[in-house]
C-alpha cells in the first residue's frame, strides 16, 4: 500500500472508518471536543489487526525518514491510550526509544518515563481531530525535560481529520485524511430545527457497537 486511497480501503475493511448512513434512527457521535459529528475514525480497529497495524507503523516511519528524521537520539512519544502502541511500533520500525503520556486532570504527564533534554522528540497520534492532544503532549514533553526540548520536524498519524496540513508550522504526515461534518449542539445542518433526532453517542470508540449496529 503506497497511496492514501489504498490505506483508506484497507482501514475501511477493518470497520475503522464510519460514516452516518442517513438512517434517521441512527445517532451521530460526540467528539472529544464535545462537538457532534456524522463520522468517526476508530484506530483501535486498525490496532486489532496486528499485520495491518505493523505495516502502517512502518509506513509512517518511512514518511519520517524520507524527510531526514533518523533514529539517532530520537524518542517517539504518544498519548494514552491510542498513542501507546502507535509510538512503540513506530519506534520499533525506527529502532529508537518511545514513551507515552497519561491524563492527569486536563493535562498530560509522563509518569512512567524519564525524558532527557538531549533527546529529540517525534509526536505520534492515531487520530488528529483538533490538534489539542498534540499541544498537550508537546507541553508534557517540555515539563518532563525541565527544559526547552527539541522536536523532530514532523508529526505522524494514522488519520488526520483536522483539515490542517501542519500544526504550528510542523507538517503532519498521515496515511489517510478524512473529512466529516461537525457542529455544535443544536446546530445540526441536516435537520430543520438543528436538533438531533436521537441523542448522539458519547465516547464512540467505547460504544462502537451502538454506533455501527442495525437501526432498521
Rounded-to-integer distance, Cα 45 and Cα 10, Å: 11
User: pLDDT tens string for the chain (216 positions)?
Assistant: 789 999 999 999 999 999 999 999 999 999 988 999 999 999 999 999 999 999 999 999 999 999 999 988 999 999 998 899 999 999 999 999 999 999 999 999 999 999 999 999 999 999 998 899 999 999 999 999 988 999 999 999 999 999 999 999 999 999 999 999 999 999 999 999 999 999 999 999 999 999 999 999
- Classified as helix, coil or strand, 2 is coil
Provide the pLDDT for residue 175.
Answer: 97
Q: The C-alpha cell of 38 is what?
A: 456524522
Q: What are phi and psi of 4, to 5 degrees?
A: -60, -35
Provide the pLDDT for residue 146.
Answer: 86
Q: Are 56 and 87 in contact (CB under 8 A)?
A: no
Residue indicated by cell numbers 481529520: 161
Domains of the chain: 4-180+192-212 (3.40.50.2020)
Phi-psi region of 194 (alpha: psi -120 to 50; beta: other; left: phi over 0): left
The answer for residues whose C-beta is within 8 angstroms of residue 25's C-beta and 6 or more apart is 197, 198, 215, 216
The bridge status of strand 17-19 relative to strand 39-41 is: antiparallel
Q: What is the pTM of this model?
A: 0.92
Provide the pLDDT for residue 2.
Answer: 80
Provide the pLDDT for residue 78.
Answer: 97
Q: Are 120 and 152 in contact (CB under 8 A)?
A: yes
Amino acid at each position: 500500500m503506497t497511496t492514501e486511497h489504498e490505506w483508506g480501503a484497507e482501514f475501511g475493511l477493518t470497520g475503522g472508518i464510519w460514516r452516518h448512513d442517513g438512517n434517521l434512527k441512527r445517532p451521530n457521535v460526540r467528539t472529544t471536543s464535545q462537538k457532534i459529528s456524522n463520522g468517526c475514525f476508530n484506530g483501535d480497529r486498525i490496532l486489532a489487526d496486528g499485520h495491518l497495524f505493523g505495516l502502517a507503523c512502518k509506513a509512517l516511519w518511512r514518511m519520517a525518514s524520507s524527510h531526514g528524521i533518523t533514529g539517532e537520539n530520537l524518542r517517539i512519544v504518544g498519548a494514552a491510550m491510542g498513542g501507546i502502541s502507535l509510538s512503540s511500533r513506530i519506534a520499533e520500525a525506527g529502532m529508537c526509544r518511545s514513551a507515552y503520556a497519561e491524563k492527569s486532570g486536563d493535562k498530560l504527564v509522563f509518569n512512567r518515563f524519564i525524558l532527557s533534554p538531549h533527546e529529540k522528540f517525534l509526536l505520534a497520534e492515531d487520530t488528529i481531530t483538533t490538534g489539542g492532544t498534540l499541544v498537550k503532549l508537546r507541553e508534557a514533553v517540555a515539563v518532563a525535560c525541565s527544559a526547552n526540548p527539541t522536536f523532530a520536524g514532523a508529526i505522524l498519524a494514522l488519520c488526520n481529520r483536522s483539515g490542517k496540513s501542519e500544526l504550528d508550522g510542523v507538517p503532519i504526515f498521515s496515511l489517510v485524511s478524512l473529512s466529516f461534518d461537525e457542529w455544535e449542539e443544536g446546530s445540526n445542518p441536516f435537520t430543520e430545527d438543528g436538533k438531533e433526532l436521537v441523542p448522539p453517542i458519547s465516547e464512540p470508540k467505547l460504544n462502537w457497537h451502538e454506533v455501527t449496529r442495525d437501526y432498521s
